[in-house]
Amino acid sequence: MVDNTIPSKATVLVIEDDHPLRDLISLVLIHGLNCQVVTADNGIDGLALYAELRPQVIILDILLPQMNGLDFLRQLRQETPHGDCVIFVISGLGYREVVQQAIELGATDFLVKPFDIQVLAKRVAEVINNLPLSANSEKP
C-alpha cells in the first residue's frame, strides 16, 4: 500500500466513465493518500468541476462520452494555457500517437489500461508531496 502520511488533503478530479474503476481509484486516493476526490463520468462535467474546484491533480480517461479526454485537454489548455494542475491520462488507447498527442496537449503522464493502481497512487503521491503547502492544505 502507498504511504498515507500525507498530512493534508489535495483535491483530485477523476474523470472516468467506468464506474468500478472510478470507484477503485477514488478509494485508493481517499483512504491511501488522504485526498479529497471529486468525480465526473464525461469531459463536459469534468471541465465544469475543474473550473469550480481547481484541483491540483486530474486523472483523465481518453474514451469518454460527450467529450473525450483529448478534447477535454484541448479545452483545458485554451482556458488555462500554462496549466496549473498535474494530469494523469489513463486509457486502453496506448498507441504512440495517442500518448504523444495527450502529452502535447498538457498531460503529465500516461498509464495504459490495465494498469497497476499502486503505480498510479505512487505517482499521485509524489505530485502531492511536491505541492506547496498552501496548495495541499485543507481549507478551514
Taken in order of first residue, the domains within the chain and their CATH numbers are 11-109 (3.40.50.2300)
Say what the pLDDT of residue 97 is. Answer: 93
Number of neighbouring beta carbons within 10 Å of residue 25? 23
Cα dist from 25 to 17, 20, 52, 71, 94, whole Å:
12, 9, 21, 22, 19
The string of pLDDT tens digits covering residues 72-130 is 999 998 887 666 799 999 998 888 999 999 999 999 999 999 999 999 999 999 999 88
Neighbours of 132 (CB within 10 A): 8
Q: Which residue has the cell 502535447?
A: 104
pLDDT more than 90, % of the chain: 75
* Cell numbers found for residue 27: 478509494
Q: Give the number of residues written for the chain.
A: 140
Least confident interval from 9-13, 45-49, 113-117, 135-139? 135-139
